[in-house]
Amino acid sequence: MKTKKYYVFHGARIIQGLTFFVMGLNGFFHFLSMPGKGDEAQQFVNALAQTEYFWPFEKIVEIIFGLFLLCNRFVPLAVDGLAPIVINIMLFHLFLDLEGIAPGLLVLSTELTLFLILWKRHFRSLFKSK
C-alpha cells in the first residue's frame, strides 16, 4: 500500500518538474505572457539579458532538470541543481517584485518538500563534517 509520503513526493516532483520544464521552454518560445514588473525589477532582468548568456543557460538548466523530475530520473541531482535557481527566484521577488511572489512560494515549497523527503537517503551525507 502506498503511503501519504509517496503521493506527496510524486505530487511535488511532478509540480516542480512541470514548472521548470514549461518555464524553461517559455524562455525560448515565449508562449506564455509574463506579468509586468516594477522599474527596479525590470532593470535587473534587462541587465541579465544584456549578458546574452545568462538566460539561455538558466533556461537550458531548467529544461534538463525539469525533465529529470518529470521522468523520475536523477531526482536528487535535479533537486540539488535547482536549489540555487529557487533561492534566486525567492530573493528576486523578496527584494524587487514582492507582488509576484506567489509562484516563487510554490516553487520553494515543492523544492523543500522534495529536499526533506530525500534528506535521509541522499542529502544527509553532504552535511557531515568528515
Looking up cell 534566486, which residue turns up?
88
Is position 81 within any domain?
yes
Is the pTM value of this prediction over 0.85?
Answer: yes
Q: Give the structural domain span for 114.
A: 12-29+38-122
- Please count the structural domains in the chain: 1
What would the 3-class secondary structure string for 26-72 be? HHHHCCCCCCCCCHHHHHHHHHHHHCCCHHHHHHHHHHHHHHHHHCC
Is position 3 within any domain?
no
pLDDT digits (tens, 9 = 90+) for 38-65: 899 999 999 999 999 999 999 999 999 9
State the Cα–Cα distance between residues 116 and 110, nearest whole angstrom.
Answer: 10
| Furthest C-alpha separation in the chain | 52
Percentage of the chain beyond pLDDT 90 is 85
Share the mean pLDDT of the chain.
95
